[in-house]
Structure 1
């Protein structure tokens, strides 16, 4: 069980790092789902601010 938790923690860390690199402010306070959505939107051309706002709204 500890391996799964460590894997999830590592995935979240990687998502937060990618969020930071993409310019998404406050990515350390976002959930994994919110980060995935925001990163997807930045890849589609939205600004980091728009992507974060949409992700925090719940899509």
Structure 2
């Protein structure tokens, strides 16, 4: 499990990647969404898919 600083950094990266509302995502959802965006998936689609896993 990530510490609060790491989670904050992930939320910042998500925001910079265009994933809106990342404050309501848990650690695993953030990791999944960032990974998908890195592979070229639309940020909001990545968020939706990560939250539905």
Same fold, judged at TM 0.5 (above): yes
Normalised by the shorter chain, which TM-score bucket?
A: over 0.9
TM-score between both structures, scaled by the size of structure 1 = 0.84
Count of matched residue positions in the alignment of Structure 1 and Structure 2: 52
TM-score (norm 2): 0.93
Higher relative contact order (CA 8 A, sep 6+): 2
Aligned-residue CA RMSD (Å)? 1.0
Give the greater-gyration-radius structure (CA).
1
Kindly provide the CA deviation profile for residues 6-38 of structure 1, in whole angstroms up to 9, marking residues without a partner as x.
x61001100000000000010111111000000
